[in-house]
Amino acid sequence: MDSLLVLPRMIQFILILAISSLCRGQPQLVLNEEDAMKFIAKQRYINSYQAKAEEMQAAVDELILEPLMYSEVLEPEIDDFQTIASTKTLELTTTDTTRATKNSSNMPTTAAVTYVTVYSTTMSIVTNSTKKNVTEIPTTMTTKHSTKCRRDLGTFQIDLLKEEHYALMMIDSYGKLPPGLLQGDFTYWFGLYDECLNQSRKIDDGKDNFKAEYCIAGLYSGKTKLPSIGICVPDSCSNSDLMEILGLKKPNSLLFVSYVICNKVPEYSTAAIICLIFLSFFGLMIVSGTIYDVLKRWRENGQDGFERLAEDHTGENSINGAPASSKEMSSHSHQTVKITKTSVGLFGNILLCFSLLINGSKILKTKQGEQSLGALNGIRVISLWWVMLGHTYIFALTLFSNLTKILEVLSRFTFQAVGNATFSVDSFFFLSGLLVTYLTLKYLQKHNGKLNWVMFFVHRYLRLTPVYAMVIFIFTTLAPHFANGPLYQSVFDPNAAPGEESQVSYCQKYWWTNLLYINNLYPSNLIEECVDWSWYLANDMQFYIISPFVIYLLYHYFFVGVAFWSALLITCFGSLIGISIKLDIYTGLIPQTPDQKTLGTQEIYVRPWTRISTYLVGMAIGYILYKYKNRVRMPRYVVIMGWMAATGIALAVVYGLYGNFHGDPLNEAASVAYITLSRFSWSVALAWVAFACATGYGGPVNSLLSWSFWIPLSRINYCAYLLHPIIMFVFYYSLPNMIYFTDLLLVYFFIGNIVLSYAAAFILSVSIEAPFMALEKLLLNRDKSV
């Protein structure tokens, strides 16, 4: 739930922007939600609202339309545009000039300028009253040198005055003042993205032509971000060309254009071609392996051979795939040796690793060993759904056209479970700690305390990294070609200029930190991480690396192991207390001052020393299950009290901050206590659920969580975790318009995100993840180690 880090800043930005959008000049300081809502409500009844809205539109026209539509430096050169020089004079009637003068009388500019404003079905050619009644297309061209962008803009200007259809359509596609400004529709004025891209102009039988391209121009008033405006310009214009034209700050004006990002369709890079070659190779291997498997089954067993699919799959019980049980792992590994290593040779076995029949059956079968912790499948899948629920809201936040609705939604009691969806990540830390401890201790018991610790780490790295690396490779090279939209390049631009970085450009710089699992430490800023939701994997790998010290000590020197475990937990608590006091962490989602840190700040959200407490709780319950799983007898009243305590703790953690939205925030001491203990407490509640279900005291909860429906989904959970943000990014940022938030719409998005994510995860798992797992078993004899 890393993306929730941006929520407090975003809400604060929304509140300030709501006011600054209505009043030009320095924005009024907003201290809290109540003040903001009172101000906005007051603005609804001010008679001058329309005038202020028109003034804002006029400011946009002044900053963007004027420079693009009229400037001497934009006039085309005579050598390149001789046919334009002989064009007939375009006359404006006195009535047109009078109307245009009236329309422009409220504009904040004092310069004598000409610019064009076109709305959906009408065009008004606006001129300053100092101009003559007749405006001529220049027949004498400037000798000033101009780039192709400037010449094309000059041609566009002339064609607009001539009312050429393509030019009118281009100017019609510009972003304009939308309705719903007081509801929060002031982040982006997209205009019409598709209308812009469908336009083109040809000159002299197509010898020289340009197509239209769509760009976003960002406006600022002082240090306050104003709406970003969609503009439509010739495709010869680059970001730097447009910034040279638009980025000049006018004297005595707080308003200026701070950036321009154009949506240029990128060419396929060498890396993208290599990625396609890799995927083609895997496709060839899959087809070859499947055909080989079919022929082998038919030759050996006839039609009956199709009923005997591989039974060597071990169910994974964490987001990153720890095995279901050591007993099941060992028995299935020997089955693999028996089935796949007879008479087919090494090359044949390698081909079988890519068989869709084998890999598909591994994922879809619903049987598990008797000693497996079946309830963990349900916990794992439901936890990822919780992650997706939070991401469904947070990734779409900047696209809501009624952003002020968020204040109302956040204050609902029922919505606290969505706003606090970050605890779903702690569920995964808990599961990972439980399983690595439980399975490793059982392995040590079976093998007289011996384990190849080098292979312990090697297997883990090989289990996670191949499919992880492939997702990064696809995201960095091919995702820019999946779709397009007004904001698509802000995430997927592979050629972002310095200062205009995108997720893809960050991946180009820092992909290696992901493969070393240090991306939660470097780069230090979460937003600069490659696939920034993968900070979880870095933490989990780091916890896994130190886990043998705890496990070995618990197995051989119990009290020393407990002391070491306690020292790690105290270190985590101390870090949280110190950081929360030093940074004055506020437990609400919306900061009360611009510099205030909240629960989402990366100093406590992504660093391993602040997140290990839930992993340690998982290790503790893993040890308890290893020692006492089959010998636990509890009175009924103890079971009831355990379930009541776990339920109360979980509800207190998730709904404990409800008062922050209703004028009753936690005091400083309570805030420090909540920050320090909330995630630990959540894992304690989850520990009871896991323990009760594993020891036969789970009742209907265990029946639900152990439902066979969860088993296939749990096997592709890791791939779904890797892919779901990419699927959401592609969908959200390819939308041509803003989203009007409603509860039903977001529920619909959430369900769609789940279905698409797991569908894509199945494809990725059966084609990349499962073959690499099979190759690892085949080549490294995984049955000899954990």
Token digits for 301? 């067993």
Preceding amide of 494 cis, omega within 30: no
User: Is 619 exposed, middle or buried (CB count within 10 Å of its CB: 0-12, 13-18, 19+)?
Assistant: buried
**Residue 2: C-alpha distances to residues 243, 387, 555, 610, 730 (Å):** 33, 10, 35, 14, 18
Token digits for 42? 């007051």
The pLDDT-based confidence of 47 (bands split at 50, 70, 90) is very low
How far apart are alpha carbons 13 and 23 in whole angstroms? 15
Count of beta carbons in the 10 Å neighbourhood of residue 405: 16
Token digits for 259? 């950036």
Token digits for 383? 């936890």
3-state secondary structure of 209: strand
Amino acid 308: pLDDT? 54
pLDDT digits (tens, 9 = 90+) for 305-316: 555 544 443 334
DSSP state of 34: H
How far apart are alpha carbons 123 and 303 in whole angstroms? 73
CA 299 to centroid of chain Cα atoms: 49
Q: Does the structure show a pLDDT above 50 at 100?
A: no
Count of beta carbons in the 10 Å neighbourhood of residue 422: 21
> Do 601 and 534 touch, CB atoms closer than 8 A?
no
Helix/strand/coil (H/E/C) assignment for every residue in 670-707: HHHHHHHHHHHHHHHHHHHHHHHHHCCCCHHHHHHHCC
How far apart are alpha carbons 287 and 355 in whole angstroms? 8
The pLDDT-based confidence of 84 (bands split at 50, 70, 90) is very low
> Do 554 and 566 touch, CB atoms closer than 8 A?
no
pLDDT digits (tens, 9 = 90+) for 372-391: 788 999 999 999 999 999 99
How far apart are alpha carbons 495 and 742 in whole angstroms? 35
**Residue 175: C-alpha distances to residues 101, 158, 660 (Å):** 23, 21, 37
Instruction: Identify the residue with better confidence: 232 or 121.
Output: 232
Among the ranges given (6-20, 487-501, 561-575, 712-726), the one the predictor scored with the smallest mean pLDDT = 6-20
Amino acid 300: pLDDT? 79
The pLDDT-based confidence of 70 (bands split at 50, 70, 90) is low
Whole-number percent of the chain with pLDDT over 70:
75
Q: What does the buried/exposed string (b/e) look like for 427-450 if buried means 16 or more CB atoms within 10 Å of the residue's CB?
A: bbbbbbbbbbbbbbbbbbeeeeee
Per-range mean pLDDT, top range of 88-102, 107-121, 365-379 = 365-379
**Residue 81: C-alpha distances to residues 137, 410, 436 (Å):** 12, 58, 73
**Torsion angle of alpha carbons 295, 297, 301, 305, nearest 10°?**
-140
Q: Does the structure show a pLDDT above 90 at 299?
A: no
Count of beta carbons in the 10 Å neighbourhood of residue 586: 23
> Do 493 and 480 touch, CB atoms closer than 8 A?
yes
Q: Does the structure show a pLDDT above 60 at 86?
A: no
Token digits for 600? 């989402």
Q: Does the structure show a pLDDT above 60 at 181?
A: yes
> Do 152 and 170 touch, CB atoms closer than 8 A?
no
Residue type, 605: Y
CB contact set of 148 (below 8 Å; sequence gap of 6+): 236
The pLDDT-based confidence of 535 (bands split at 50, 70, 90) is very high
CB contact set of 220 (below 8 Å; sequence gap of 6+): 226, 255, 256, 257, 258
From 228, 373, 311, select the one nearest 706 (Cα to Cα).
373
Mean pLDDT computed over 456-465: 95
**Torsion angle of alpha carbons 590, 595, 596, 600, nearest 10°?**
70
What is the reported pTM? 0.82
The pLDDT-based confidence of 251 (bands split at 50, 70, 90) is low
Count of beta carbons in the 10 Å neighbourhood of residue 455: 16
Among the ranges given (231-245, 434-448, 746-760), the one the predictor scored with the smallest mean pLDDT = 231-245
Q: Does the structure show a pLDDT above 70 at 33?
A: no
Instruction: Identify the residue with better confidence: 318 or 289.
Output: 289
Amino acid 498: pLDDT? 67
From 423, 339, 17, select the one nearest 185 (Cα to Cα).
17
Amino acid 600: pLDDT? 86
CA 160 to centroid of chain Cα atoms: 40
- For tokens 């430096």, the residue is 73
Q: How far apart are the first and last CA of the chain?
A: 30
